[in-house]
Amino acid sequence: MNEPRTIVTNPAKLMDGRPLARRLLDGARAKVEAIRAATGVTPTLATVLVGDDRASAVYVRMKRRRCEEVGMKSVAVELPQGTTTDELVAEIRKLAADPTVHGILVQHPVPAPIDKRVAFEAIPIEKDVDGVTSATLGRVILGLPAFASCTPKGIMRLLAEYRVQLDGAYAVVIGRSPILGRPLASMLINAHATVTLCHSRTRSLPSIVRNADVVIAAVGHPRFVQGGWIKTGAVVVDAGYNEGNVGDVDFEGAYEPASLITPVPGGVGPMTIATLIDQTADAAALQLGVRLDALGAAGR
């Protein structure tokens, strides 16, 4: 594995997620205010954290903080290590039935032996603001309106912001998880890219990646995608987030051939949380019958 080296980056090459995420959060704040003005109700996100994984606790805290920053309420449900699937499902059902809760986020990974899929499926689609249910994924595949999984939706927004041409492009997604690689591949297909979805059994991965106009790494292995795999001029999106603020792409190696590349941190990560908050505001508006059209482009 290459050791990281310091490189001088050209800001024009970086797909910076922070300003776009900020705009999205500003828009969410406007939506929250409009909903409160129309109904007197404060949009509310319930976060469910099971067990004592430190990283998960940090992520949940960050999400709760972002909620409060835009004037939303967050309800924290914390369950001990050893919680069973049935107990978790019972908690989710309570939130599902609670009309003051508009979005439900179950922080994952959930500790074994909980059946994550069973827990996710207990979230009603209208409150599935993190896009984890099979019903949501089905809608995403078909290109129907949905609160899609936040990381892939955030990536699509980032690609649009930087005017990356997807129509006719060859995109390679590495990773096929139900919350990231799979929905992202569908979104790219719906944007008229030709997509290859790779995973741990894929043969000759480097030679597949070498042909890609757009490379998306969602693997979970630090600096997995090597600079030598990247075609000159390719757009590289690193969804990875590993210990030590390291992505799934060898940034230093990929920077030179890439025409655009996301930094880690500051690329995909901020877009994920901002998308979650934005979708929670939209979910509240839908459940409360508030039309947000009047907010215009800035609030959407």
**Minimum Å distance from CB 34 to ligand NAP?**
27
Candidate list 107, 128, 279, 287, residue with the active-site label: 107
Q: Which is nearer to ligand NAP, 248 or 250 (CB)?
A: 248
Q: Which is nearer to ligand NAP, 104 or 246 (CB)?
A: 246
Q: Which is nearer to ligand NAP, 27 or 181 (CB)?
A: 181
Shortest-Cβ-distance residue relative to ligand NAP: 177
**Minimum Å distance from CB 195 to ligand NAP?**
14
Q: CB under 8 Å to 114, separation ≥6 — which residues?
A: 50, 83, 84, 85, 88
107 given a catalytic annotation: yes
76 in Cβ contact with 23 (< 8 Å): no
Binding site for ligand NAP (CB under 6 A): 151, 174-177, 179-181, 198-202, 205, 218-221, 239-242, 248, 268-269, 272
Q: Which is nearer to ligand NAP, 72 or 219 (CB)?
A: 219
127 given a catalytic annotation: no
Q: CB under 8 Å to 44, separation ≥6 — which residues?
A: 72, 73, 74, 75, 100, 101, 102, 103, 280, 284
130 given a catalytic annotation: yes
**Minimum Å distance from CB 295 to ligand NAP?**
26
- Beta bridge partners, 198, equal 174
What is the SS3 assignment for 136?
Answer: helix
**Minimum Å distance from CB 62 to ligand NAP?**
10
Q: Which two tokens stand for residue 30?
A: 């406007």
Sign of the four-CA dihedral 33, 155, 166, 8? positive
Distances 16 to 268, 270, 272 between C-alpha atoms, Å: 8, 9, 13
Which residues are tagged catalytic?
63, 107, 130
